[in-house]
Structure 1
Amino acid sequence: MAVAASLVTAGIVLAGCASSDSDGGGEASGTWPGADKSECSGLEQLADFGDLSGKSVSIYTSILPPEQQAQEDSYKLFTTCTGAAVKYEGSDQFETQLSVRVKAGNAPDIAYIPQPGLLKTLVGSGAVVEAPSQVSDNVDKWFGEDWKSYGTVDGTFYAAPLGASVKSFVWYSPKMFKDNGWDIPETWDDMMKLTDQIAATGIKPWCAGIESGTATGWPATDWLEDVLLRDAGPDVYDQWVNHEIPFNDDVVATALDKVGAILKDPKYVNGGFGDVDSIATTAFQDAGTPILKGDCGMMRMASFYAAQWPEGTKVTEDGDVFAFYLPPTNDQFGKPVLGAGEFVAAFDDRPEVQAFQTYLSTDVWANEKAKATPGGGWVSANTGLDSANLSSPIDKLSAEIFQDPDATFRFDGSDQMPSAVGAGTFWTEMTAWITGESTSDALTNIENSWPS
């Protein structure tokens, strides 16, 4: 899930068009300002939109400081090559306020949508404009079908992917592993053998935390999604997310029990914090810290956790902490990857808006963004991204996973479900499950909450 994010309700109605201080609509005109600039090489598509000098594009997003600066820096080349300015606005109330603005007829030109479910809601309201052909072509070239499908609603393509995160990671201490002679597991069975090996030393093999304020429970939903994707494969995963099979189907129960074999076994958890119940009260931001103290061996958490380690922690293959790919449970489905990301949705089709959409969907922008993020903490699934431009080892590893031809990507399931489930009962029931509720009761309660 997108932390602390919730889907807007389905009752959005479009009351007007996006606001802007530039002229509305119209055909592209004038000579492309980037025509004679070497730095604009690779952005020739932008010539389709003409001279955009004096125009501006407003964007609205949940990306805030310190990450905001890197976003804005990555737009400088767009202004150089088109003449158009970009007006950036971030908000920690993004989902709620975007709904309000759309209802009031004050939608931004572009919004970065972190959930496919929210995109579907906005498209259903009539607010979102279909992406131009240039963007569609770029996504076909640089991302592929899996990613394009998340920006598509009822057969129409609306929103290109932007940034991304890999959720299928297990964090560990390279030094602890080396000192104890532990190998990085390549299969689920290997990981469970390692779990027993660590437990035999007196160290709890796993630490975990699912407390996240009103979003408490979301890390446990990621566990289930990751295991279901591995156990049953992408087709069954999609059926489950879309409620084409019941939430409490036997295949889902089997996957959750496999999670429970780790998270609900007192021999395995919760290193550094307490018993199984402590998982529900341990903040996810703090969950990995016992690894640094040698109190636990592993923690399953997304790539964005790299920013949660205490200041000064060396996040490298030979450093204080690093991560390995969560192994598959079988060899039937290649290399399943669970992840998340943002999508670029437009509420206006002026040439400058379409030009900016096009820019963000290119390999050129992906590399500009990487170079504008020297501290790390950002990656894209764009296959044109040169990992040499990524400064963080965990970002490089994420890019390698996204670009692996054997990888089968699926988006976070709760972010695609109706908000009553994905940002509601799925969270609360996973919390109840951790603290003693049965697999059957938890999954049945979620199934019964699915909107009719």
Structure 2
Amino acid sequence: MTTAPRPRNVTAAVLVLWLLLVCAVGAGDARSRAAGSVTVLATWTGGEGMAFKKVLADFTAETGISVVYQGTTALREVLLSEVDAGASPDVAILPSPGEVADYAERKEALKSLDGVLDRAQWDSYDPLWTPKFNGHRYAFPVKADLKSVVWYDAQRHQPGDLAALAADGRQWCAGMGDGAASGWPGTDWIEDILLQQRGRAVYEKWAAGELPWTSPELTGAWKTFRSVFPAGPAKKALGNSFGGAAAGMTATPPRCAMEHQGTFTRGAYPSAFKEDFADSARVLPGADRDSTAHEVSADFAAMFHATPQAERLMRYLASDRARTTWTTDPPKGTYPPFFVNKALPDSVRYTDPVSRRAADRLRTPGARCLDASDSMPPPLRTAFQRAVLKFLSDPDQDLNALLRELDRVRERERGAPWFPHVCG
């Protein structure tokens, strides 16, 4: 009996399999090269970046189009420099509606999406999310977050406890730091106070640049903000980053009891922590307790080059397949993103009751108002953020002088594009 041929047969089989694999990879590379590529810029890094890259990988698997992705926490600075240099990405995910307006009208850098998405895709969004500039639509929300909520430890507190705690600034887990964008958590506070105290009409008028910063309504919101953050709590908030604020709630023993932050903050809480949220109207000092209004925010997909590959990516990002991929098996420490489409397929699921409640709030018709400063011209938004930092650094300073300076910036930006409707 001879056995010598067996090794040669095994070796030959392995060689054939290796050649088939090489051919398959080569064919895939050839398909990708033939299909072309698309460049994408967004703010997502870490776990959020990993989740979005999974979506982009699914797009490549479906189309053969390769994607070159850049995630940066300094998107505004990076994108401005690239646009000015004539080297903008094909697609960018803009974190504020004000930037959509700025690039669409003032810089004329965006390409119309009117004929890119089909009628059913456009109709799946309420008009709030897809405004027109010069008669055209330039962006749509790929994901969104609910604001006007207060997070708390459901094992230590009941929702009814929070209003009594809210007047004590030491009970708030707050951080204002975020690099060049530091101060925006404070702008969220002032916006939400105004919305919950004065209602939608006043909020919309201010967000459109039609209500002076020195008005009694807005001055009152700043004074409420000061009452919550007098000298001690203000100093602590200035010293914390927004991402580290939640650590005070989860410390042993806890150093604070509540956090005023959007739903994107959930990833900052440890998995064993039992967080829940209450509507800010039930908690903030001076708020109308019957208010059902919520601030909301979104990340908007916009196209800077109208290539076939970019157009195909835009259609994919507006599809149920992309949303299903995005919510399936999120990276550890992250939660599935939220969407504002009127109807979502059963494959887009939220497994915990807190996420389901937030997702329902975002899609329920009613008073949903886009983040006001995000909707303003970027120079005014930046001035607002800096004013918050200045205000907290010296609570005894002249508030009227600070607000008059913001009115001067508002007047300078009068001819800039403003987001047309922030509530819907």
Q: Same fold (TM over 0.5)?
A: yes
Give the Cα separation in 2 of the matches to 1:248 and 1:138.
44
Cα 1:251–1:155, aligned 2, differ >3 Å: closer, same or farther?
farther
Instruction: Please state if 1:171 is matched with 2:151.
Output: yes
In structure 2, what is the equivalent of residue 371 of structure 1?
Answer: 328
Instruction: Please state if 1:427 is matched with 2:409.
Output: no
Residues 255-274 of structure 1: matches in 2 within 5 Å? 255-264=221-230, 274=232
Percent identity for Structure 1 against Structure 2: 23
In structure 1, what is the equivalent of residue 4 of structure 2?
Answer: none
1:338–1:409 contact (8 Å) kept in structure 2 = yes
In structure 2, what is the equivalent of residue 133 of structure 1?
Answer: 115
How far the C-alpha of 1:115 sits from its partner, in A, is: 1.9
Structure 2 letter corresponding to 1:208: A
Give the Cα separation in 2 of the matches to 1:305 and 1:341.
14
How far the C-alpha of 1:410 sits from its partner, in A, is: 2.0
Instruction: Please state if 1:277 is matched with 2:252.
Output: no
How far the C-alpha of 1:81 sits from its partner, in A, is: 4.0
Cα 1:387–1:451, aligned 2, differ >3 Å: closer, same or farther?
farther
In structure 1, what is the equivalent of residue 422 of structure 2?
Answer: none
Give me the TM-score of the superposition, normalised by structure 1.
Answer: 0.73
2:150–2:277 contact (8 Å) kept in structure 1 = yes
Please give the per-residue CA displacement for 1:212-237, whole angstroms capped at 9, x wherever unaligned.
34433221110011122223333332
2:324–2:348 contact (8 Å) kept in structure 1 = no
Cα 1:142–1:438, aligned 2, differ >3 Å: closer, same or farther?
farther
Structure 1 letter corresponding to 2:214: N
In structure 1, what is the equivalent of residue 125 of structure 2?
Answer: 143
2:129–2:141 contact (8 Å) kept in structure 1 = yes
Instruction: Please state if 1:73 is matched with 2:54.
Output: yes
Instruction: Please state if 1:240 is matched with 2:221.
Output: no
1:206–1:297 contact (8 Å) kept in structure 2 = yes
64-73 vs 243-252, greater mean Cα deviation? 64-73
In structure 2, what is the equivalent of residue 381 of structure 1?
Answer: 340
Cα 1:419–1:132, aligned 2, differ >3 Å: closer, same or farther?
closer
Residues 290-305 of structure 1: matches in 2 within 5 Å? 290-292=248-250, 293-305=253-265
Give the Cα separation in 2 of the matches to 1:71 and 1:374.
10
1:374–1:390 contact (8 Å) kept in structure 2 = no
1:133 is paired with a residue of what secondary structure? coil
2:176–2:182 contact (8 Å) kept in structure 1 = yes
1:61–1:89 contact (8 Å) kept in structure 2 = yes
Return 5+ residue gaps in structure 1 as ranges: 1-50, 178-182, 267-273
How far the C-alpha of 1:415 sits from its partner, in A, is: 1.9
2:327–2:348 contact (8 Å) kept in structure 1 = no
Instruction: Please state if 1:289 is matched with 2:247.
Output: yes
Structure 1 letter corresponding to 2:249: I
357-366 vs 278-287, greater mean Cα deviation? 278-287
Cα 1:405–1:281, aligned 2, differ >3 Å: closer, same or farther?
same
> Which of 180, 184, 203 pairs up with 2:159?
184
In structure 2, what is the equivalent of residue 228 of structure 1?
Answer: 194
How far the C-alpha of 1:247 sits from its partner, in A, is: 1.9
In structure 2, what is the equivalent of residue 14 of structure 1?
Answer: none
In structure 2, what is the equivalent of residue 396 of structure 1?
Answer: 356
Please give the per-residue CA displacement for 1:182-220, whole angstroms capped at 9, x wherever unaligned.
x314xxxx8534547xx6xxx943332323344332211
1:172–1:323 contact (8 Å) kept in structure 2 = yes
Cα 1:207–1:102, aligned 2, differ >3 Å: closer, same or farther?
closer
1:52–1:82 contact (8 Å) kept in structure 2 = no
2:373 is paired with a residue of what secondary structure? coil
Cα 1:234–1:414, aligned 2, differ >3 Å: closer, same or farther?
same
Instruction: Please state if 1:325 is matched with 2:279.
Output: yes
1:237 is paired with a residue of what secondary structure? helix
Give the Cα separation in 2 of the matches to 1:136 and 1:157.
12
> Which of 76, 83, 87 pairs up with 1:106?
87
391-400 vs 359-368, greater mean Cα deviation? 391-400
Which structure features the higher share of helix residues? 2
How far the C-alpha of 1:159 sits from its partner, in A, is: 0.5
Give the Cα separation in 1 of the matches to 2:182 and 2:305.
36
Give the Cα separation in 2 of the matches to 1:241 and 1:282.
28
Cα 1:193–1:66, aligned 2, differ >3 Å: closer, same or farther?
closer
Cα 1:64–1:232, aligned 2, differ >3 Å: closer, same or farther?
same
Cα 1:107–1:212, aligned 2, differ >3 Å: closer, same or farther?
closer
Return 5+ residue gaps in structure 2 as ranges: 1-31, 413-424
1:363–1:384 contact (8 Å) kept in structure 2 = no
How many pairs align?
369
2:327–2:349 contact (8 Å) kept in structure 1 = yes
For the aligned residues, what is the CA RMSD? 3.0
Structure 2 letter corresponding to 1:143: Y
In structure 2, what is the equivalent of residue 22 of structure 1?
Answer: none
In structure 1, what is the equivalent of residue 37 of structure 2?
Answer: 56
1:142–1:362 contact (8 Å) kept in structure 2 = no
1:109–1:348 contact (8 Å) kept in structure 2 = yes
Cα 1:275–1:228, aligned 2, differ >3 Å: closer, same or farther?
closer
> Which of 181, 188, 191 pairs up with 1:215?
181
Cα 1:210–1:160, aligned 2, differ >3 Å: closer, same or farther?
same
In structure 1, what is the equivalent of residue 70 of structure 2?
Answer: 89
